[in-house]
Structure formats: structure tokens, C-alpha cells
Structure 1
Amino acid sequence: MRRFLLLLTFVCFIQADEVKSTQNLEDSSSIQELLSLEKGIKRDFYINEYLKKDINPEEALTALGLVDNLKNEMFYNFAKKFKHDETFAVAQCMNMSTKDLIDSYADCIVIGLSLEEASSLSSIDLDLIMQKTSEKYPLFTKKLKVISSSIPFTKLIILRKDDFYDIFLNVNKNFRAKYFNYKLPKRTFAKIFDDKKRFDNFLQKSLSNPKLNILNKSLLDIDDKNLSVNSSFLLALNAIRFNDLNKAFIYLTNIQNKTTDKKINDKILFWKYLITKDNTILDLLADSLDLNLYSLYANELLGNRLQDYNFLQRLESFDTQLKEYNINRVALLYSIAKVKSNFDSNKISEDFEIGIMQLKNGFITNINTIINENNTLSLDQFSIENSLKFANIHLNNLAKFDTNILNIFLAYEGKYELLKNNELFFKKNTFEPFMSFELISNNKNLKEIIMYKYLYQNYLTKKDKDKIKLSSIFETLIEYDHKENE
């Protein structure tokens, strides 16, 4: 898709001669404001907002030329204002539903249909698509032929390395589990092992899906000497899941020889403790100078109580706004603000989440309309007061997830399905919930939201008997999943 966006950017500039305007864009206050911003996420965000305004085609084209990282949303907003039929047609294809793409024409299908979507289609639909694309887009059609074949694995393993990775990494997880759960031939393995970066992604996709048990078992004896720290760690987790704890210990030790990063080493110590129950390892971890979930839990297991919480950041504006809320909600808001923005009220994320609570501008607009307040354009979306107000409204709507901190956080981010629909996470066994923490994508944020919720809630709780334990939070995660599946 990125290649299409780059190509279309070039096409749009070629078409610029067709656009007529008497306005001097350099004198436009909005363009001037955009030009005054440094290239990067912040300017891209304001360009996207500018493209939503009532602007002419030449203004839209000038704004597009300032973009650092072109996203689908930005291109679609541009196409609507550029008023060029072919450009807008491409934007529509990029946003078209899978059902509509099936009935569309070859160019549109190739632009809009991902391999993830294609792998969920019936053989009849795939045949129809291939009939349309085979002549003009043979490489695209070749990949669809692999997906639509009676035994896709036999077609996959003979592909070039690039095509192998493109298909394996991008089909949906159910297709991957159903059709790719086989031991790789030695020749195929050697071919893909040569690309260490994508092999790391291969391990992440494979080992995070327990239904790929045959494939995963075949990965137990990989030599990780030249692999990344992350690959070695994934292989250690895989060995643990197949109860080869000696092999797991070797992989974990190899990681310690590859890095001096304190956070990573604390993680490795924690997993060594889990598979050995050696309290000397726990003592080392408890003495860590780094604040992380592993070192905190090690201290809890050893009965060491955290006495001083004054290292936690507090904001007077936060406390003033949250006087009416209970400790649980205040701790949750503090935790989200810490993890999402590090209390930076001016932060703009790569996904265009804004403010200290990192909410989408579109979400703020919708909520603002519902509660019949002033027009959103007159709001300061970056003010702490407004961020907290809309974050609280958002959390109120997520009340049904209140038994589980991770579900609340994922739902807050709009990613609840990531946890709900994955059969891997938080099942009752010896190494949960820690195994799930490591294998869920975006796991760093999930571990941090638990840690800061624990810290802020205990900081705000006066009586020792009312303070929470990490072990209680962990039990809640597993119990929640158990109840969901009863």
C-alpha cells in the first residue's frame, strides 16, 4: 500500500498543472502556520486537520507536499479536496469494503485488497478476483493462487523468500493456523532464516498462535547465535511452552550475553526464576535499580513492601479536576496519562492521538456533539481539563470492562478485540499471565499500565490493609478469562 501512496503522490503533482487558483498560497495564514512547523508527526497532524477544512485543490496539493509520513486517512482527506477523478477513485478503493472490492475492477482490487482480507474469502470469490487481475497484475494474482490452492503450504514453501514472508506474515491468523501448521523443509527454513529481521516477525506471528503447534515444535532447536535478543526470547518462551526448560534456560542465558540493557536483563532474570524457582535469582531481581513490573513483583514475592511512593509524578491540575472521582478512577487516569503521554499535554502520537490522555480528535468531536457543547473547533483539545473530561466520558462508556485493567486499557485504545478474540491469552497454567504479557503485541504498554495502576492506586490509598497486590491483579486477569469461557 505504501508504494501506491508514493506513486499517487507523484501522480498528484503531475496533475497539479490542471488546478487553477489566483490565491498566493505562501500568503495563506494556514499554509504559513504549517510551514512554520518542523517536519514530523506534529506537522502531519495539523496538515490532516487542514485538509478537513474548506480549502481549494491547490491549497490541498501544497499541504500534501509538506507531509512527512503519508497515511491513508490523510490521502483520503486530500483526495476529497483535490477534486481529481482518478485520485479520488484511488482513495475510494483504499477505503472500500472487501465485499465491494470483489465486484470492482482490477486496479481497484489491487489497491484496496490486503492479503489479510483475501485469506478470509471463499475460493469462489478468489477465483473471480484472479480472473480480473491475472493479466494486468500477475504477481498479485500469483499470491492469491497460493492462498486459494487446495494445500497452500506446499505452494508457500517453494516461493522466493520475499513472497514467502509477504504471504505468511500478512494472511489472517486463522488462515495461518489452518493451512501453515507444518514443519518447514530444511531448504525453506534456510532460505527464510537468512533474513533475520523478517525471521523475527515470523517467530512473533508463529509463536503467538498456539494452534501452530506443529510448526512451533519444529522451532525448538534453532541456533540463536546470530539472532536478535527478541528472537532468542521468543525461542525461550516456545521452549517453555513445550516444557523444554533446559533449552529455555540456555536461550535466556544467551540473551544475557547479547545485551546490557537493564530492563531486558530484569525480564530474563524473572523468567529464569519462573522456570527454576531459584530464590537467589529473585533476590538479584528485587535489588534491581530499574523500576519495572518484574522487579516490583520480585519484591512482593519476597515480602518486601514499597514504603515510599513519592517518586511518582503528580499534577496539581489533575488532582483539582478529579476531586469528585474515587481512588480507582483517579489511579486509572493517572496510569493512562503516564503510559500514553508521559504527562505531556502537547503530545501527538503517530496515530494522531492528542493531549495528555491521547484521544482521537474525531472521538472528541463526536462526544462533544453528543453532549451539545460548543463547536469542537473552539475547544482547546490539548488542555488537561478537556482531555480529562473526554477521557472520563470514554471510561464511563467502558464500565462493562471494569473488572479487568487490561480490557479497560485495550478498549480505551479501541483494541479490545485484540485480547477478546485471541485464544492464547491468560489461560490457567503455570506461566500465566506472564506468557501472555510477552506475546501480546504492544506488550510494553500492557505491562506498564498494570504497573502504574498498582503504584498510583497504592499511593492514593491511605490504609495499608486497602492497598492492592500485583498477585491479585494477575489472578483477576486469569479469572476473568475463565469466567468468559464458562
Structure 2
Amino acid sequence: MESLVRFCLLAISFATFLGANVLSFEELKHSPKGLAKDYYIYRYLNETKPKKSEAKELRSTIYRYSGSLKKKIEEIAGAIKEPKLDCSGVSLANVVDANSTCQKAVISIKFLETMSKEDRDKLARDIYQSSPDLSNFIIGFDQSNPVKYYIDTNDTISYLKYYNLSSDKEKFLTDNNISNGFLAKLAPNWQFKTLINDIVINQKYDEFRKYLVKVDEKSVEGDMAFLFGLNALLLNSDDDALRFFRQSASTATFISKKDNANFWVYLITKDKKILKEISKSSDINIYSLYAKEFSGGGKIKIVVPRPHIETLLNYDYTDPFVWQKTREKVQNMSKEELLKFGVKFFTQNTVGEYSYMMERAHNYKLHFYPMPFMEHIGSDDVKRQALILALARQESRFVPSAISSSYALGMMQFMPFLANHIGKKELKIQNFDQDDMFKPEIAYKFANHHLDYLEKYLTNPVFIAYAYNGGIGFTKRMLQKGDLFSQNSKYKKYEPFLSMELVPYAESRNYAKKVLSNYIIYLATLNSSTKISQFFESLMIPGDGEKFRLNAQN
């Protein structure tokens, strides 16, 4: 829930809140390095008046020097003055003698344009040994079609450099179709992955997308092959989509992604053998749950730990430093060590930590669905209970003192500014401090309060999950745009599954799938009979309380 934002908070920046749990400078100096320390350093910098010298000293002890903490440190202590490579003296006369870093910084298309062809040829020869890629970039510059040259020479670096410099990127892609061999080399590059994701999800550059439909599926793997499959579907080429989805399934690095790709194979072919195969998956996801429902694939194998001992002696489960130390300790443990160490955490208050360790010990082939602190769940409604548990499992694995890299707090992972706003302004909790989010009873209370707000506009748990993770503003814009989860969709035979793949924010897209599978499991665990297919069906039909979707269709 790191990007969770409510309408009324969209314009609010991180504010200063005077709190009772700010550690002193001396305490921070001697605290162990990690996310917990980073969080408390951030509190100290924001909620006290630190000296410049203190900020500088604390900076050297930071675990993750980035984001809001880096910005705050630099406001007080100034930016770290890193030695900069001075390439200002590099010119046509001495570029050959410059180091490779300066050569890469200086040699651009504009730089090459100032040189004669003879000088460019000489430069390419002279730097070949130290910078073969840069040498090839220069050689390509003098070709009648530089981009074709880069494709023919398998030079992905120069190809992407030319793409990034292109003023008409659609024309660049359309005029320079890539070979299957070059595509295979280009596909693992993160820049190209980002490009293809943008093109497919946002349905841009139609002519280039039509070209991608016809490439050899063996030139792409895993996630990239999946994107190519989606692209083919969107262009009404189901047979080509099938090629890519089969390739994605056979090359997927995670079982969940293999199930996802195979599910699309089933949707296209209607081959129930594929559904039967997915139903036997060792992973629990929306596709394996759906497959079990429709193929009689057997019972779902989960573990619902129910410890009788209340608490672990001498272990403060609400202290982030305690969890930080524990988590670091188990990172490199063997299975045997994890089983031996983890069993002592089999208590009601540390069942989240216990489940975390047991899943690691069993290489995530055993799936734990704890239900801790139910006395604080705050609702008698089984659906609300299941939703809170589903969100908490995804957010924190029920570790009360969890802190994310962006300082989302506790089991329900509320950002500090939102926690303070809700605690002080909305719930008016006396003497509220954001560290109270590490208390399970407070975490569940805030979850109920926020879900009450979200359910004024949304009813389906999938949409609520999108809003919980990406923000209600993001969810509103997506639904009111009218092209996803709409009864007017051009791709009705593949809905709502296609809309679920086209949610523009990738983190929220995957998050909602996981929350829905958690939700189905927890409903069953709480003895509420339900079918996942019912939730898929309701995704296409606005409920009475879904104001965003109803407004979009009126």
C-alpha cells in the first residue's frame, strides 16, 4: 500500500508531526543499520531540529540512501560532493586519448557531425580496442541507413541510443523492422522491455505492433513473450497470441507466471486438458483457483496455523528493530536451521513471523494463511474479515512491526502521512503517534476505517485492491476512462481477464490478483462458501455502490 492516497490528501506533502517515539541522536547512532533505523532517522530529521553535523554523521549509517530520506538529509547537510569526471577538455584533437568514460560522454551524433568522414573513420579505428561498441556506433553513423546497420551487426546499444535520440519514435520503429535474431538479443534489455510494455499496455504505434505479431515466438521468452501474446490478442490475431503464450508458459521463471500464460492458452483453445494442468499447480493464484473450480482439480493445500501459546517471551513483536534483527538472522539459514529456529515463533502474537520462516523453509511450496489478532479484526462481517486478512497477508505477511522501503508501517502498511491524518484528524485518537501502526489493534482499526471509505465508491475486492495499492484517484481514472472492465469492451470473449492484464500500473495489476486469491482462501477458511468465477463475472457488471463505474456509463 506504499502509494495509497486519498482524494483529500493528493496535494499534501510529507508534513512534520511531533511524536512521542522519535529516537534521540545518541540512540540512532548506536542502532543497527537497516530499514528500521532509516525510518527513525527520517523521523528524527523531520520532527526535531537536527544539527548539520548530526545529519552528516547519521548519513554514513543509512542503509538505503534514496528517496525521501536522501532528500531530507541533503536539505540539512547538503549533497555529497562526489568527484566528477571532468571531460570539458576533450575535443576533436584529443578525444582518442581520452578515457572510455569521457569518450562515451562526448561522442554524440552532434559531435560526429562536426568531424570529417576521414576523422570519423580514424576515430573508429583508434578506439576499437578500448570501446568496440562506441567504435561500431561511429561506423554506423556513416552508413546510408545507420539503424539497419546496427540491426545487421547486432548492436543493441547503438540501436537503443538512436531510438532514444529519435524525434519521431513511431517512425523509427516502423521504418526499421528488426530481425528475429536481433529481437532475441534485444529482448532481455530493460530499456526494450519498458518500451514494449508501454507500447502494448497503452496500445501505441499500431504499425509496429502489427509487425511484432508476426515475429518468431522463439525470439522472446517469459514476460516478454507474454506481452507479445497480449499484443496479438489486442490485434485480433488469436493464433499468433497462442504461439506467444505457449512460449511464455514454457520459458516462465515463476510457477505463477506459467499458470498465467497457460490460462491464456486455455482461454484461446478451450482445451480443458490445459485447465486440468493448471489445477495441479503448486502455486496458489487466481488461475489455479479458477482451474480447480472448473476442472475438479482437488482440494487446495494450505496451512492455517492456530497456535495456543499467546506470546513469545522476551520478544517485542511491535518493535521494528527486533523484526529487522530476526529477519536478517534467518536470511541465510538452511531448511533445518529455519525449522528449528522458527518453531519457537509458533505463538498467537508471532504467527506471522512463524509463517514467513516456514514458507522459506519449504521453498514456498507450502502456503501459510495465518489469521492473527482476530480479537481486534473489528468486524463481524465475514467478507470484511476476509478482505482485511487478504490485504494484510499481501502487505506484511502479518508481521506487526513491518516497515517498507518507503516507510509504510505495520501489518496494513499505511504511509506515515496518511496514518497521522487518519489517526489525528479523522479518528481523533488522543496522543496518536504513527508508531502506533505497529500495534495490531490499531492496524486493523485503520484498515476498517479506510475500507469504509473505499467501499463508498467500490464494491468488488479487485477494485478495492487496486485502490488500496495504487490509490483511489488512480482507480477512479482507470474505471472512468471506460475502456477497461466495460460491458462495451471490444474483447468480450476474453473479459474480464484481458482488462486485468491491461491495468496501466503494473504493481497494482499484480497486487490485485494476489489479494483476490488470498481473499478466496480466507473466505473458505472462515466457512463462507464462494466461487472465484463469481468475482470475475461481477467485474464486468457495476454494482449499485460502484459510483465510479456507474458515473462513467451514464
- Normalization by structure 2: what TM-score? 0.60
Residues 367-400 of structure 1 deviation map (CA, whole Å, 9 limit, x = unaligned) = 2221332334485331111111222222222222
* Preserved CA contact (<8 Å) 2:391 2:412: yes
Counterpart-to-counterpart distance in 2, 1:215 and 1:279: 34
Counterpart-to-counterpart distance in 2, 1:38 and 1:307: 40
Which one of 476, 479, 484 corresponds to residue 538 of structure 2? Answer: 476
Is residue 2:532 matched to residue 1:450?
no
* Preserved CA contact (<8 Å) 2:386 2:519: yes
User: Counterpart of 1:353 in 2: which secondary structure?
Assistant: coil
Which one of 402, 422, 443 corresponds to residue 347 of structure 1? Answer: 402
Sort the Cα spacing of 1:254 and 1:400 in 2 relative to 1 into closer, same or farther, 3 A: same
Counterpart-to-counterpart distance in 2, 1:252 and 1:332: 31
Find the structure with the greater CA-based Rg: 2
Is residue 2:498 matched to residue 1:435?
yes
Counterpart-to-counterpart distance in 1, 2:434 and 2:63: 27
Which one of 62, 66, 79 corresponds to residue 67 of structure 1? Answer: 62
Sort the Cα spacing of 1:307 and 1:48 in 2 relative to 1 into closer, same or farther, 3 A: closer
CA-CA distance at 1:365 after TM superposition: 1.4
Sort the Cα spacing of 1:260 and 1:366 in 2 relative to 1 into closer, same or farther, 3 A: closer
Sort the Cα spacing of 1:394 and 1:274 in 2 relative to 1 into closer, same or farther, 3 A: same
Which one of 245, 249, 253 corresponds to residue 238 of structure 2? Answer: 245
Residue equivalent to 2:384: 329
Sort the Cα spacing of 1:307 and 1:202 in 2 relative to 1 into closer, same or farther, 3 A: closer
Which one of 40, 49, 52 corresponds to residue 54 of structure 1? Answer: 49
CA-CA distance at 1:277 after TM superposition: 0.2
Which one of 153, 166, 176 corresponds to residue 186 of structure 1? Answer: 176
CA-CA distance at 1:338 after TM superposition: 0.7
Sort the Cα spacing of 1:224 and 1:67 in 2 relative to 1 into closer, same or farther, 3 A: farther
What pairs up with 1:162-241 in 2 under 5 angstroms?
162=160, 180=170, 184-186=174-176, 194=186, 196-197=188-189, 198-210=191-203, 212-241=205-234
CA-CA distance at 1:298 after TM superposition: 1.0
Sort the Cα spacing of 1:167 and 1:78 in 2 relative to 1 into closer, same or farther, 3 A: farther
Residue equivalent to 2:484: 425
* Preserved CA contact (<8 Å) 2:217 2:243: no
CA-CA distance at 1:238 after TM superposition: 1.3
CA-CA distance at 1:358 after TM superposition: 0.7
* Preserved CA contact (<8 Å) 1:335 1:452: yes
Residues 384-439 of structure 1 deviation map (CA, whole Å, 9 limit, x = unaligned) = 11111222222222222332223322322343344433455324411122123233
CA-CA distance at 1:335 after TM superposition: 0.5
* Preserved CA contact (<8 Å) 2:24 2:44: no
Is residue 2:274 matched to residue 1:278?
no
CA-CA distance at 1:56 after TM superposition: 1.1
CA-CA distance at 1:320 after TM superposition: 0.2
Sort the Cα spacing of 1:243 and 1:32 in 2 relative to 1 into closer, same or farther, 3 A: same
User: Counterpart of 2:243 in 1: which secondary structure?
Assistant: helix
* Preserved CA contact (<8 Å) 1:51 1:60: yes
Sort the Cα spacing of 1:237 and 1:307 in 2 relative to 1 into closer, same or farther, 3 A: closer
* Preserved CA contact (<8 Å) 1:405 1:450: yes
CA-CA distance at 1:447 after TM superposition: 0.5
Aligned residue identity for 2:209:
N
User: Counterpart of 1:207 in 2: which secondary structure?
Assistant: helix
Which one of 351, 355, 358 corresponds to residue 413 of structure 2? Answer: 358
Counterpart-to-counterpart distance in 2, 1:400 and 1:323: 18
Sort the Cα spacing of 1:291 and 1:81 in 2 relative to 1 into closer, same or farther, 3 A: same
Sort the Cα spacing of 1:264 and 1:375 in 2 relative to 1 into closer, same or farther, 3 A: same
Which one of 303, 314, 332 corresponds to residue 370 of structure 2? Answer: 314
Q: State the percentage of identical aligned residues.
A: 25
Sort the Cα spacing of 1:164 and 1:364 in 2 relative to 1 into closer, same or farther, 3 A: farther
Sort the Cα spacing of 1:165 and 1:352 in 2 relative to 1 into closer, same or farther, 3 A: farther
Higher percent of residues as helix: 1
* Preserved CA contact (<8 Å) 2:226 2:244: yes
* Preserved CA contact (<8 Å) 1:419 1:425: no
Residue equivalent to 1:106: none
Counterpart-to-counterpart distance in 1, 2:51 and 2:514: 45
* Preserved CA contact (<8 Å) 2:187 2:220: no
Residue equivalent to 1:406: 462
What pairs up with 1:380-391 in 2 under 5 angstroms?
380-391=436-447
Which one of 397, 418, 424 corresponds to residue 453 of structure 2? Answer: 397
CA-CA distance at 1:160 after TM superposition: 6.0
Sort the Cα spacing of 1:209 and 1:62 in 2 relative to 1 into closer, same or farther, 3 A: same
User: Counterpart of 1:395 in 2: which secondary structure?
Assistant: helix
Aligned residue identity for 1:408:
I
- Normalization by structure 1: what TM-score? 0.68
Figure out how many residues of one structure are paired with residues of the other and give that number: 379
* Preserved CA contact (<8 Å) 2:496 2:539: yes
Residues 184-208 of structure 1 deviation map (CA, whole Å, 9 limit, x = unaligned) = 2226886997363221111111100
Counterpart-to-counterpart distance in 2, 1:384 and 1:391: 10
Residue equivalent to 1:77: 72
Unaligned runs of 5+ residues in structure 1 are 1-27, 88-138, 142-156
* Preserved CA contact (<8 Å) 1:403 1:476: no
Aligned residue identity for 1:413:
N
